[in-house]
């Protein structure tokens, strides 16, 4: 006869102790319960395998990432199939497919990198490592959405849309599930660190970087600049900072440097460096460079230094009207991690009549633009994906002139709305967050918003907004910035009807100037006037974890609120 376990006080205590564990295991380890933490519970249930006694959020997360890799590869093969049979398509449709092929490969790379991390551990990651992976998974969703947007905007691509957009819709949900499970399992509950101090307050000397070079490179640099360039001296509690430079090449149109074209200098940069030896520096002397530049992912730790805004100018005029996609219209595009640009003007001169015409597309993780100018009209600066910092830059444009879905922070910058076409309005930002678990958004801190000269002198009243919700979870924050009277009292514009007004996140904190009054702002659920505690989440130290990667560049920044 079986022994009655309840006869023993010890056994009773043991059962009472284990009972909660059994209930937690049986509920939390089933796909139906796990899937409740994702934006697509029903779809998630169809994807995850039936649970077994040892399954948990980490097992499901790894399964989801593995499936995502397989799915991304299948989609890439599908795109290749359409491109092989593209003779009947227009050049714009082909370019849209080529964008998708590029983005699919990027997704495969990011998913493989993700799996290498999540496959090693079933524990919460460090703050930095969790942010790295959440950034990659966020970018995967952004890349997929970019492909969808490009195909939908290409009228002549209708013959391939149904064959591509349907699988892409499922792919998007799968990637969203992967991001949600990663966030639930591997991301610390309090992932973002609050800024502890503003130690990185730098003393500027003529606005350049204090470079540490070899004697050979110092001689080359000095010969070209005639030793007139006093480099930035970065001072912190520990003394002087210097930016380590491994090698230097000079681009000069008069033939006095190593190259006359910027693209040739980029091609000469080493591939896949780890940065331990410093940056490969391309010094670009004053001149107007009519080049289309695309810096590939393997050109890591590349620094471009010009002679100053309106001195070193990179310019082009590609536009959507002329048959380019928004994604491949930029004069300058970069996806190389740890890229830095200083003292350069980037232009797209297509003009307002050509609609979307990008000056710079940035998809480079841990990238910085310092003392640069971005000049165009609609869609000037495409902050496409990953983590980006802009300091003391000028941005000119009209409709949605800062747009995209990076985690991007603008500090001490100037935003200059220009005179648009008739019947157009100005929107400074159009942020593209599509998923609540993406760590993306636009943070604008201690910046100045004034009308550009053409708008200021036009005597025409143009509605100028702080932003509008391009995607469902659009997120933009203005903090401690000056807003001139061109900003209308409502502050923010709709995209279409009531789209994203409940799910977007727009916030303002302690701004100044005649356009900063929030008493007549929109009353959407997604709009907030926030306090210092909430604003701190969007500072350089918290939003970008900038204390861990900006100091090595020598670029000045303030980690917290002013």
CA–CA distances in Å: residue 231 to residues 9, 131, 554? 78, 33, 11
Partners of residue 248 on adjacent β-strands? 281
The H-assigned helical ranges of 29-126 are: 31-34, 41-47, 57-84, 91-118
Q: From the CB of residue 410, how many other CB atoms can be counted at a distance below 10 Å?
A: 27
Q: Which residues of 460-490 are buried (b: 16+ CB within 10 A; e: fewer)?
A: eebebbbbbbbbbbbbbbbbbbbbbebbbee
Partners of residue 384 on adjacent β-strands? none
Q: At what angle do helices 91-118 and 127-152 cross, to 10 degrees?
A: 160
CA 80 and chain centroid, separation: 27
Is 534 a known active-site residue? no
How far is Cα 76 from Cα 475, in angstroms, rounded to an integer?
Answer: 30
CA–CA distances in Å: residue 533 to residues 479, 529, 539? 12, 12, 11
CA–CA distances in Å: residue 13 to residues 16, 18, 20, 22, 552? 5, 9, 12, 15, 57
Q: At what angle do helices 158-185 and 57-84 cross, to 10 degrees?
A: 160
E strands, 273-428, in order? 279-284, 287-289, 293-295, 302-306, 312-316, 332-334, 340-342, 345-348, 360-362, 367-370, 373-375, 381-383, 387-391, 394-397, 402-404, 407-411, 414-417, 426-427
Partners of residue 95 on adjacent β-strands? none
How far is Cα 282 from Cα 295, in angstroms, rounded to an integer?
Answer: 13
Catalytic residue among 241, 307, 400, 547: 400
Contact 400, 367 (CB under 8 A): no
- State the sign of the Cα–Cα–Cα–Cα dihedral 489, 494, 500, 505: negative
Q: Which residues are catalytic?
A: 400
């Amino acid at each position: 006869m079986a022994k009655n376990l309840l006869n023993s006080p010890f056994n009773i205590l043991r059962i009472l102790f284990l009972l909660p564990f059994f209930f937690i295991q049986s509920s939390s380890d089933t796909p139906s319960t796990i899937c409740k933490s994702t934006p697509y519970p029903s779809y998630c249930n169809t994807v995850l395998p039936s649970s077994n006694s040892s399954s948990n959020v980490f097992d499901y997360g790894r399964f989801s990432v593995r499936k995502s890799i397989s799915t991304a590869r299948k989609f890439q093969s599908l795109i290749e199939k359409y491109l092989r049979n593209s003779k009947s398509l227009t050049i714009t449709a082909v370019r849209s497919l080529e964008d998708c092929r590029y983005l699919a490969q990027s997704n495969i790379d990011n998913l493989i990198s993700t799996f290498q991390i999540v496959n090693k551990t079933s524990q919460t990651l460090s703050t930095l490592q969790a942010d790295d992976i959440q950034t990659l998974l966020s970018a995967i969703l952004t890349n997929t959405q970019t492909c969808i947007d490009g195909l939908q905007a290409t009228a002549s691509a209708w013959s391939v849309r149904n064959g591509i957009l349907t699988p892409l819709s499922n792919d998007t949900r799968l990637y969203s599930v992967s991001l949600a499970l990663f966030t639930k399992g591997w991301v610390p509950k309090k992932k973002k660190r609050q800024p502890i101090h503003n130690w990185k307050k730098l003393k500027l000397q003529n606005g350049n970087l204090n470079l540490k070079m070899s004697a050979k490179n110092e001689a080359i640099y000095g010969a070209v600049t005639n030793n007139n360039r006093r480099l930035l001296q970065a001072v912190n509690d520990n003394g002087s900072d210097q930016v380590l430079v491994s090698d230097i090449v000079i681009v000069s149109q008069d033939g006095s440097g190593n190259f006359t074209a910027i693209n040739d200098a980029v091609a000469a940069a080493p591939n896949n460096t780890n940065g331990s030896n410093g940056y490969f520096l391309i010094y670009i002397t004053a001149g107007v460079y009519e080049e289309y530049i695309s810096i590939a992912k393997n050109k890591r730790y590349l620094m471009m230094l010009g002679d100053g805004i309106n001195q070193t100018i990179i310019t082009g005029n590609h536009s959507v009207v002329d048959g380019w996609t928004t994604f491949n219209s930029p004069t300058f595009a970069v996806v190389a991690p740890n890229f830095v640009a200083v003292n350069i003007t980037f232009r797209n001169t297509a003009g307002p009549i050509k609609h979307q015409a990008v000056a710079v597309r940035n998809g480079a993780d841990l990238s910085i633009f310092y003392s640069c100018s971005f000049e165009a009209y609609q869609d000037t600066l495409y902050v496409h994906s990953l983590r980006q910092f802009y300091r003391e830059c000028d941005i000119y444009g009209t409709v949605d002139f800062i747009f995209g879905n990076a985690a991007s922070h603008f500090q001490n910058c100037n935003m200059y709305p220009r005179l648009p076409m008739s019947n157009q309005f100005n929107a400074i930002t159009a942020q593209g967050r599509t998923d609540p678990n993406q760590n993306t958004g636009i943070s604008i801190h201690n910046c100045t918003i004034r009308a550009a000269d053409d708008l200021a002198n036009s005597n025409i009243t143009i509605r100028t907004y702080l932003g509008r919700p391009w995607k469902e979870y659009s997120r933009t924050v203005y903090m401690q910035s000056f807003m001139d009277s061109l900003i209308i009292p409502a502050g923010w514009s709709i995209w279409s009807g009531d789209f994203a007004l409940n799910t977007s996140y727009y916030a303002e904190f302690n701004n100044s100037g005649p356009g900063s009054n929030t008493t007549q702002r929109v009353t959407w659920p997604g709009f907030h006037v926030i306090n210092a505690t909430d604003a701190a989440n969007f500072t350089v130290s918290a939003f970008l974890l900038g204390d861990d990667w900006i100091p090595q560049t020598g670029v000045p920044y303030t980690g917290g609120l002013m």
